[in-house]
Amino acid sequence: MRIDPAITPELVQKHGLTPDEFERIKAILGRSPNYTELGIFSVMWSEHCSYKNTRPLLKGFPTTSDKILVGAGEENAGIIDIGDGLAIAFKIESHNHPSAVEPFQGAATGVGGIIRDIFTMGARPICALNSLRFGELSSPEVRRLFSGVVSGIAHYGNCFGIPTLAGEVYFDKSYEGNPLVNVFCLGVLRHEQIARGAAKGVGNPVFYVGPATGRDGLAGAAFASQDLTEESAEQQRGAVQVGDPFMEKLVMEACLELLATGCVAGIQDMGAAGLTCSTCETAARAGTGIEIDLSKVPQRAPNMTPYEIMLSESQERMLIIVKKGREKEVQTIFDKWDLPWAEVGFVTDTGQMVVKNHGELIVNIPASKLADEAPIYHRTSREPAYLENVRRFTLEKISDTVTPEADLKALLAWHSIASKNWVYRQYDHMVRNGSVVCPGSDSAVVRIKEDSLPLLPDGTFGPRFTEKLIALAVDCNATYVYLDPYEGAKIAVAECARNLACSGAIPLGTTDNLNFGNPHNPEIFYQLKKSVEGLAEGCRAFNAPVTGGNVSLYNQNPNGPIDPTPTVAMVGLIEKWEYVTTQWFKNEGDVIVLLGEVIDSSDPLLGMGGSAYLQRIHGLKTGTPPRLNLDKEKQLHDGLRALIYAGLVMSAHDCSDGGLGVTLAECCISQQIARDTPRLIGATIDLRNSPATRLDALLFGESQSRVVISVNPNKLADAKSEASQRGISFNEIGTVGGDLLTIQSSHRTVTTKLADLHDPWWNAIGRAMN
């Protein structure tokens, strides 16, 4: 016989609920909750599910455009029109705490969860990205976490059969013990195939489909909404789910086939909070009620309690509301795919989420109050004390470089700048034959072809269309955000948009993952608040509205919080194949041009604040980051695209981490023509007319709004004229050719063999891991 524990203040606290929240629950129910109901409120009112500390801030994001079909907060993912009746669904999510506890399964199930968010919308997933943050690789524990996370991402994506096309990886002590694992997925569908997660139609049956429920992943959403300590990690090892990518592939195919029949009234994946979230949210969206019986839910462990069944986050499960009278179609399709299914309940008109077990009433909660009326907090915000010292920093005590060649090599070997090939070589980035630009350039590019789409009811892909080209990038320089949350967040958006522009793409929309520490700390909440303001302003400037995303707070351990990391993923459209542009130099004799100013002389730190150079060479993480003028940045992007569309650009690479020196080196060494076969092509650069007073700032300063392009000399005059008409600074700085990178300046000439640059850049992470 089941005996639930008594509801005590200690038990309430253990569930992450405050006394005031508990009183609010009692007021909603008109009584004290039972143990299962307490657990349900605990997960649904956690930060991970309710955004109770951030919802007021998120309202500041731009979320509308004439292309948005499903907007932020409406469903599991946003959807944007791309023409010809086609649309893309995309979103980014975090699996930070689970990955810190169990790196392989934590990362793997993060990938599985974001894929489900996409096909729940009726879209076929076609590619994935990731954004990762770790401590320094000198630590054996960090190497273990890094290896486990990358292996988990590779395992799930490769087995499922989805290309992982792009990403970013940074290393910093602030992430020691609390890595960030942010995963993104994009899918494709026709407008008429959009599926909704609403429990519509009173009397419609509710089906559970997918593998049986186990005890893995219990209360994972609540675990993700508390500080990460050794004790909490050990206690919550069971909050990490175990994924099966082959099962998910079958579930996806069965769900897409079922959606094509037209018998589905609503569909929702069982992600965070599992069966709890999927039932109450679908009812709340539709303004209906829902009733289920747990005795009908497939269970893979004996004697599971209602608490365990409702809070389990076992993977690869879906909840489907079926039009009454069409139950047989569900059974036929899921039997065909050899997948478990069960009819577990029905839609009601009561507005209540009712859960029974063998007919015994277990849960009776108003669905909308549970899903939509979590308490909202307006936290205190206070500027962090450390920012005063950041603003005081000057270059007076930093001697100019006398070893620029060694500094360049050191920067290229720095793990945050070095090639991430050790990571992406573990991913299948060619599966499904849609990859156009693979990892290693400014943006990935994927083509949308006929078989990218889910089938229509008639068994076809629908009317023919011209293949679409989608560019994708993900970015965030968290050091900038730490040193200036507002400006750093703006730069994160600008760099993402700049990467798309360098690939020939026009931004369509943005999804973000806000990774921060404990919001109860006023200084951390200040970081969060200012970052959101910066992101919002950036997205408005580039007409790239936010279509959804994720908030991940409490990312800290006993040593302190992570650097504030508002990760930005942006998606863009490339209108023609000939516009696709990559970052590496192409032909001997091409002219190298810097679009934008060589250096921002109005910046007292000359672009050195928060720079990779200061961190790597001088061991300093300080100084006001470079300033960003969004109007100037937008003008640069529009002008660059105009040059590309006119056929005047051979290559384009944004100037960011490591400054102009690293950018030029990457243009020379980053092309791979076969496995372990780089194509190295040199450059001779003349910066003798630069106004820079310091060589280190000239080479490694990170002034914003700069792109290095190469141009066929026969088209140079046309390119210069186009740039002049658009008011863009056009600086001819050199030519492509040879086997050296030579940079002349008024200070000295820097000359390095390309092979000596490529080796530390290409192999640094692999050597650290091996």
The pLDDT tens digits of the residues spanning 398-416 come to 999 999 999 999 999 999 9
Residue with tokens 């899903």: 371
Residue with tokens 């050990």: 234
Say which amino acid occupies 627: R
Local structure of residue 703 (DSSP, 8 states): -
Alpha-helix residue ranges (DSSP H) falling in 380-437: 386-392, 404-413, 421-424
Task: Give one word for 433, left, alpha or beta, with left for phi > 0 and alpha for psi -120 to 50.
Answer: left
Say which amino acid occupies 421: N
Cβ proximity of 470 and 83 under 8 Å? no
Identify which of 676, 699, 677 has the alpha carbon closest to the alpha carbon of residue 687: 699
Alpha-helix residue ranges (DSSP H) falling in 80-162: 96-101, 103-119, 140-160
Tokens of 600: 């921002």
Identify which of 239, 287, 272 has the alpha carbon closest to the alpha carbon of residue 46: 272
Return the number of other C-beta atoms located less than 10 Å from residue 66's C-beta.
6
Rounded to whole angstroms, the Cα distance separating 252 from 233 reads 32
The per-residue pLDDT for 3 is: 84
Pairing of strands 683-686, 740-744: parallel
Name residues whose C-beta falls within 8 Å of residue 458's C-beta, 6 or more positions apart in sequence: none
Task: Give one word for 737, left, alpha or beta, with left for phi > 0 and alpha for psi -120 to 50.
Answer: left
Rounded to whole angstroms, the Cα distance separating 61 from 78 reads 14
| Gyration radius (Cα) of the chain, Å | 26
Rounded to whole angstroms, the Cα distance separating 196 from 268 reads 8
Cβ proximity of 590 and 456 under 8 Å? no
The pLDDT tens digits of the residues spanning 604-614 come to 999 999 999 99
Rounded to whole angstroms, the Cα distance separating 746 from 123 reads 56
The per-residue pLDDT for 521 is: 97
Cβ proximity of 206 and 344 under 8 Å? yes
Topology of the domain comprising 581-770: Phosphoribosyl-aminoimidazole Synthetase; Chain A, domain 2 (3.90.650)
The per-residue pLDDT for 240 is: 79
Tokens of 9: 């203040």
Which residues in the chain come in under a pLDDT of 50? none
Rounded to whole angstroms, the Cα distance separating 674 from 229 reads 44
Q: How large is the angle between the packed helices 140-160 and 754-769, nearest 10 degrees?
A: 90
Rounded to whole angstroms, the Cα distance separating 626 from 620 reads 16
Return the number of other C-beta atoms located less than 10 Å from residue 464's C-beta.
7
Return the number of other C-beta atoms located less than 10 Å from residue 529's C-beta.
19
The alpha carbon of residue 409 and the mean position of all alpha carbons in its chain are separated, in whole angstroms, by 30
State the DSSP string of 277-334. HHHHHHHHHHT-EEEEEGGGS-BSSTT--HHHHHH---SS-EEEEE-TT-HHHHHHHH
DSSP E strands, 611-686: 651-654, 671-674, 677-679, 683-686
Q: What are phi and psi of 206, to 5 degrees?
A: -110, 125
Identify which of 42, 765, 14 has the alpha carbon closest to the alpha carbon of residue 416: 765
Rounded to whole angstroms, the Cα distance separating 39 from 310 reads 9
Pairing of strands 289-293, 318-322: unpaired
Secondary structure (3-state) at 230: helix
Identify which of 621, 417, 407, 525 has the alpha carbon closest to the alpha carbon of residue 54: 525
CA angle 127, 128, 133 (to 5 degrees): 165
The per-residue pLDDT for 228 is: 59
Identify which of 611, 603, 595 has the alpha carbon closest to the alpha carbon of residue 706: 595
Q: How far, in Å, are 412, 434, 579, 680 from residue 671 at the CA level?
A: 15, 20, 18, 7
Cβ proximity of 211 and 299 under 8 Å? no
Lay out the sheet containing 164-171: strands in order across: 68-70, 78-83, 86-94, 180-190, 124-134, 164-171
Which residues are part of the catalytic machinery? 48, 95
Identify which of 39, 56, 149, 136 has the alpha carbon closest to the alpha carbon of residue 94: 149
Say which amino acid occupies 340: P
Identify which of 61, 52, 54 has the alpha carbon closest to the alpha carbon of residue 510: 61
Name residues whose C-beta falls within 8 Å of residue 118's C-beta, 6 or more positions apart in sequence: 76, 77, 89, 90, 91, 125, 185, 186, 187
CA angle 496, 498, 500 (to 5 degrees): 75
Domain borders along the chain are 581-770
Q: How far, in Å, are 237, 605, 665 from residue 652 at the CA level?
A: 46, 26, 13
SS (H, E, C) 48-82: HHHCCCCHHHHCCCCCCCCCEEECCCCCCCEEEEE
Q: What are phi and psi of 761, to 5 degrees?
A: -70, -45
Rounded to whole angstroms, the Cα distance separating 629 from 441 reads 25
Cβ proximity of 472 and 186 under 8 Å? yes
SS (H, E, C) 425-458: CCCCCCHHHCEEECECECCEEEEECHHHCCCCCC
Rounded to whole angstroms, the Cα distance separating 6 from 11 reads 8
Cβ proximity of 236 and 222 under 8 Å? no
Helices and strands, number each (H, E), in the chain: 27, 30
Cβ proximity of 318 and 234 under 8 Å? no
Q: What are phi and psi of 39, to 5 degrees?
A: -60, -40
End-to-end Cα distance, the chain: 54
